[in-house]
Amino acid sequence: MKYIVINRDCDQDRYSEFTSDNSHISDIRKFSAIDGRHLDSRELIQNNIIEEYLNYTKGALGSAMSHLLLWNAVVENNEPACIFEDDAMLCGNFAEESEAIISQLPKNWDIILWGNNYDTTLTFELLPGISHCISQFDQESLRKGAHTFRNMNVRSLPFKLFQTLGICGYAISPAGARNLISQTLPLPDRSFYHVGLDRKLRNTSIDHVMADHYRKMNAFTSFPPLCITKNEPGKSTILRS
C-alpha cells in the first residue's frame, strides 16, 4: 500500500520534522498540498465542491482539496492508500501492525483511522451490537511523551468507528474514497452533533464532515493508535492560513 504525506511546498520545516519523526518508515511519498490562498471560492461553489458561506480558513480549504484529490486518485487507481498529514508521528512497528490490522478488516472496508486528535473524544463500538465506548485523552501528556512514540511497538485492534475528529493518518479503500466523495460534496456550511462532546460543532474543516459519516460507512479505528499528532494550534497550517 502506498504511503502518502500531505505537505505544502512552502512548509519545508514541517516536512523536515515529519521525515525526522518518521525516519523509521520507508518510502513515504510527498503529495504537494493545495495552497488554499490560491483557490477561487467562487469557482468551487460553481462546480458544486463547496457551499456558499462555507466557514473554512484558506488553510482548511486547501487541506480539504488535498484530501479530496487523493481520494480521487485512490478511486482512479483502484488501489487503497495510507494518507498522513505532516504533523503525524508513527509508532515503531507501524508498517507491520497496520498491515496486520487491515488483514483483519472485512473485504468491504471503507476507511480506518490510525489515530485522532487528543483534544476531543473517540467513539467506537467496543462490543459489537451491545455497547459503544467514548474515550477521552490527555493531550498535554501526549505532547510531552510524543518523542518516544517512534520507538514504541504498539499492539492494536480494529474497532468499528462511530465518531471522532482529526485525520493525522488513515487508510482508505477505493470504495471508501468513492463513498466519502459522494457523501461530503459539496462541503456544507452547517453544524454537526458530536456525541462525545454532547454539543454541535460548526463545520470548519473536512474532518468535521467525515466525522458525521463514519457511522454510515464501514469505518474503523485502530485502538490503541498507531499514529499520533501533537495537534499544536500555533503551528497549524489549517488554523493560521
Supply the pLDDT for residue 232.
82
Supply the pLDDT for residue 231.
87
Residue in 67, 38, 46, 110 with CA at minimum distance from that of residue 205: 67
Burial (CB count within 10 angstroms: exposed 0-12, middle 13-18, buried 19+), residue 132: middle
Supply the pLDDT for residue 44.
97
Supply the pLDDT for residue 119.
95
Angle between helices 58-77 and 174-184 (to 10 degrees): 140
- Look-up of cell digits 482539496: 65
Contact of 50 with 209, CB cutoff 8 Å: no
Task: Point out which residues pair with 202 in neighbouring strands.
Answer: 191
Per-residue pLDDT of the chain (241 residues; tens, 9 = 90+): 999 999 999 999 999 999 999 999 999 999 999 999 999 999 999 999 999 999 999 999 999 999 999 999 999 999 999 999 999 999 999 999 999 999 999 999 999 999 999 999 999 999 998 999 999 999 999 999 999 999 999 999 999 999 999 999 999 999 999 999 999 999 999 999 999 999 999 999 999 999 999 999 999 999 999 999 998 866 655 555 5
Q: Among positive and negative, which fits the CA dihedral 50, 181, 126, 158?
A: negative
Supply the pLDDT for residue 234.
63
Euclidean distance between CA atoms 136 and 96, whole angstroms: 27
Contact of 206 with 64, CB cutoff 8 Å: yes
Q: Which amino acid is at 12?
A: Q
Question: Going from the N-terminus, what domains does the chain have, and what CATH number goes with each?
Answer: 2-240 (3.90.550)
Task: Point out which residues pair with 132 in neighbouring strands.
Answer: 125
